[in-house]
Amino acid sequence: MMYKTTLLLRGLSLALGLLGFLSSAPVWAQAARTVSGTVTSTSDGQGLPGVTVIVKGTAQGTTSDLDGKYQIQTTDNATLVFSSIGFTSQEIPVNGRATLDVALAEDTKQLNEVIVVGYGTQKKSDLTGSVASVSSEEIQAIPTPRPDQAIQGRVPGVQVATTSAHPGGTVQIRIRGGNSLQGSNNPLVVIDGMLGGDLQLLNPNDIASVEVLKDASATAIYGSRGANGVIIVTTKQGQAGKVQIDVSSFYGWQQITKKLDMLNAQQHAELLLANPLRPYTPNDPASYGTGTDWQDQIFQVAPMQSYQLSASGGSEKTRFLVSGNFYDQDGVIKNSNFQRGTFRLNLTQTVNDRLRFGNNITYSRSVNNLVKMNDGYGSQGSPVTMSALRFSPLIAPYDADGTYSPSLLPGDQLDNPLLILSDRIDRRTRNYLLGNAFAEYKILNDLIYKLNFGYILDEDLSERYDSRRLQSALNAGQATIANGRNTNWLLEHTLTYQHTFNQRHDLSGVAGFTAQGIRDVYNRTGGSGFPSDILTYKNLSLASTPLTPASNYTKQTLASFLGRINYSYDSRYLLTLSGRADGSSKFAANNKWAFFPSAALGWRISEEQFMQHIAAVSNLKVRLSYGITGSQAISPYQSLASFNLGSRYTLGTTTYTNGVQPGRVPNPDLKWETTGQTNVGFDLGLFNNRIDLTADYYDKKTYDLHYSKLLPTYTGYTSQVQNIGSMRNRGLELGLTTRNLIGPFTWTTSANISWNRNEVLELGDDTEFPLNASGGAMGAGFSQTGIIRVGEPVGNFWGYVFDGIFQNEAEADALAQSGAKPGTVRYKDLNQDGKIDNDDKTIIGNALPQYVFGITNQFSYKGFDLSIFLQGVQGNDVLNLNRFYLESVGGSNNALATTLNYWRGEGTSNTIQAPGESPGEMSTRFVEDGSYVRLRNLVLGYNLPNTVSDKLHLRQLRVYVSAQNLFTWTNYTGYDPEVNSRGGSGSTSSENLELGYDNGGYPGVKTYTVGLNLSF
């Protein structure tokens, strides 16, 4: 085997050397000279194969052979650059020499790379937990306003889904699956040490690195907030030296990824005439032509732009970074828009050898103009996308008098899509301040005390007005104004110790006490019955019917003791112990406190003596960990009794509305959700780390789930939050990086893939409970769309199995199904009792993917670079509720073009029912494969050569063009398979359980951008 490897390396070395020679340009305008020599390793003196040797400033190069020997044509005054993966590069002048031997030292930078972990840092080589890192270059490769979208597909075990492509839309992050049914499954976000940050309002250009902590060994130090994983964001800092000015900007165009194929006016008229019920009688179908394309009426090519300016620098004692950014994105649906401005100031002051202090402050203001999506069916007039799809193409956008045209029939309960965009205002303004101030004092050379104070102020203002012309406003006009204010303070005292004993025993640790308080205030008011739409929500006193005001106030506190010990013997045997004790005001006196410990072991096998002769293995480490983390992600006061205000009661003949009645029964034993997790992994580096492989297997079980247990009616209460049930997530993660080509032309591949299996293990005395996420306007046939059942994963869809169309009377008579006749929808009789009822309903799909993956290929040659990033999700289902409306044949509303294949008689169609018949109830007909592969990002850039940029007094100049979501390969028939209409609802249980729903969502978007980066 070693002999074959030797021949392979020799062949690759000679081939690369020949390629470098053939592609080189002549440089011997001066005296030509042949330089030869041997490249060896400083550690053992052995020859190094595959070392790239380049004449500096040219593309001329070669590579060393298997014995480390090389030969290259150059000039007397040239400089040779020697480089190899895993070794430190050297630049050596020729100075007229014919022989030049070079010894390269091993580059330990990769293994000694510092990774940010909870309350400290660690060398990558010393990590025992499962931690992934994303660099600032990777984050800034995608022009996006949010850093969480930039990490999508780049970290194994992390699923990032854009639940809505609306500008400023929501993003859902799950690390190793969801743990909770009713509590939040969102990971904890830590920004510059401040717990509870929001990635949506963070400027990606300010980020230095993002670390994702996945296993309990890494997250246990965050205790009751670590169960869902932790994302640590570190922002950029100024460096000592000259002041550096960085300017970056991009401009882009967005368009929808696809349009749905709908009936044109002639086709719609033909189906109306084919409907025996004939709700509307059109003229000659041919006279209508194609009619109005309502999708074209609401969609647009939308611009987006970003401008960034930063300055950084300082002295050895004072360092600073100040930056500002403005981002502006219009939506592909007209009148949707998102604007955000951010400002950052990071300062660090070193007073003396022992004292250092500083701050990290960012302020963000965003304004989001929303359009009506995902809800508002029935009498509310429908979401704008669904209205555009259903509005008849027979109708022109405007009547003869210039007003917006009504729907084909008054009872259609549809607003003109253009009227929705024109007469509905939904503006969200958000002011967000996040900052921390810290001081570090070196008590001893190995002992540092740190005081950190962090603060978040998050203010949100929602202003909405529905004009009198919209059905949702009941011809009266409706206005609401709501505002929220969240404050979050954090105080931390930590001691950090690090010392090496006898050059082999490395011991480090951290211990601390923290306290945190969060306060939420919410107020809402409004009214209806406005005499005019001119002032919209700006004068609520004009409303004839005021809305009953609402307000809310909550407060929560958390106190914690934390600690971690890291021990390394001879850089081979690693041990990590950590734990955190949390006391939360959310829980009752019986369970205020809980302790969350973890332990991890690591063995760097590659450092053992018996591995030293295996040159192909440059790094091999195995890891094992187990730990317990928790979740307190429920609303405050859930353990306490509550009362409902505003109840009606009568005394004599007078009715009052200020009654008080019991609302929630107390639970003095309510406690934390707890997750125990085992992780086994290994890290493998081959051929001087030209190949890096990381693998992790995890098994985590969450018990004491928070679950609203239904109570008997005689108690007077409906439910009580209890610790009932358990859930399990198991999975495998693989990450691979290969440096395929090095030298003048480089090619690097990074790929990852993750599998996760979820299972509900226990629900107390219950075995299942139903879900209804249809939106409430689809009738009794959609009263249950999902189910949570013991032994099954979350995300299951529930309904009948679609079995085609009844073709004749004999088939209809043979099965006792309500309304059965030729041309109607047919379902499978699963229990074979000759009738269709609830006993024939079953699990008909699941929204969780089998696996998710991402793969990036990066190429560079001279100043050019090319990045190709593919991302995908496989094995998940999507419930396309849109088809219930869009596959109705011959109605007054428009339909999909597939309805042209409707049933006309026996044998004519087995997929689409006859005109005038219902599309049916909840069934497999509406469940589709949501798998996709997407060209997420394509970037081509050019960096101006240093010789040119120096003359222009520039440190760097880079221009690039890029495309996002350029191609999507999928069988899903809706706008976009990456959709979840319930993902941004604001309801935690909906986000956890009602997965994979498409119900009038925002269409997918592809983007083209041109960008410029300047550094002075």
Residue in 851, 676, 820, 686 with CA at minimum distance from that of residue 757: 851
- Do residues 537 and 493 share a domain? yes
Q: Count structural domains, the chain.
A: 3
Q: Residue 285: inside a domain, yes or no?
A: no
Q: What is the CATH number of the domain that holds 67?
A: 2.60.40.1120
- By the 8 A CB rule, do 697 and 679 touch? yes
pLDDT at residue number 375: 63
Residues 6+ apart with CB under 8 A from 366: 168, 201, 338, 339, 340, 341, 428, 429, 430, 432
- Do residues 127 and 66 share a domain? no
From the number of C-beta atoms within 10 Å of its C-beta (0-12, 13-18, 19+), residue 887 rates as buried
- Report residue 2 as tokens: 């070693």
Q: Residue 123: inside a domain, yes or no?
A: yes
Among the three residues 75, 104, 133, which one is the final residue of a domain in this structure? 104
CB atoms within 10 A of CB 817: 21
- Do residues 47 and 190 share a domain? no
pLDDT at residue number 713: 80
- Do residues 86 and 205 share a domain? no
Q: Residue 955: inside a domain, yes or no?
A: yes
- Do residues 85 and 139 share a domain? no
Helical (H) or strand (E) element with 685: strand 673-686
- Do residues 509 and 577 share a domain? yes
Evaluate the CA torsion angle 43, 45, 51, 57 in order and state its sign: positive
Task: Give the angle 822-826-832 at the CA atoms, nearest 5°.
Answer: 120
Domain with 168 in it: 108-255+291-361+423-466+480-637
**What does the alpha-carbon distance between residue 786 and residue 1015 come to, in Å, rounded to a whole number?**
54
Question: What does each C-alpha distance from 242 to 238, 245, 357, 955 come to in angstroms?
Answer: 10, 10, 21, 12
Q: Residue 10: inside a domain, yes or no?
A: no
Residue in 682, 693, 683 with CA at minimum distance from that of residue 739: 693
- By the 8 A CB rule, do 470 and 487 touch? no
- Do residues 58 and 160 share a domain? no
E strand intervals along 129-288: 131-135, 158-162, 171-175, 188-191, 194-195, 207-213, 230-235, 241-256
- Do residues 134 and 71 share a domain? no
Among the three residues 614, 637, 660, which one is the final residue of a domain in this structure? 637
- Do residues 140 and 173 share a domain? yes
Among the three residues 637, 658, 675, which one is the final residue of a domain in this structure? 637
**What does the alpha-carbon distance between residue 407 and residue 399 come to, in Å, rounded to a whole number?**
11
**What does the alpha-carbon distance between residue 651 and residue 660 come to, in Å, rounded to a whole number?**
14
Q: Residue 978: inside a domain, yes or no?
A: yes
pLDDT tens-digit readout, 446-456: 999 999 999 99
**What does the alpha-carbon distance between residue 170 and residue 634 come to, in Å, rounded to a whole number?**
20
Q: Residue 306: inside a domain, yes or no?
A: yes
**What does the alpha-carbon distance between residue 577 and residue 217 come to, in Å, rounded to a whole number?**
8
- Do residues 94 and 130 share a domain? no
**Which portions of the chain are predicted below pLDDT 50?**
1-29
pLDDT tens-digit readout, 26-58: 333 456 789 999 998 876 677 887 788 888 877
pLDDT at residue number 20: 39
SS3 string, 697-719, reads EEEEEEECCEEEEECCHHHCCCE
Q: Residue 216: inside a domain, yes or no?
A: yes
- Do residues 92 and 118 share a domain? no
Q: What is the CATH number of the domain that holds 307?
A: 2.40.170
Q: Residue 672: inside a domain, yes or no?
A: no
- Do residues 201 and 93 share a domain? no
Residue in 78, 82, 80, 76 with CA at minimum distance from that of residue 64: 82
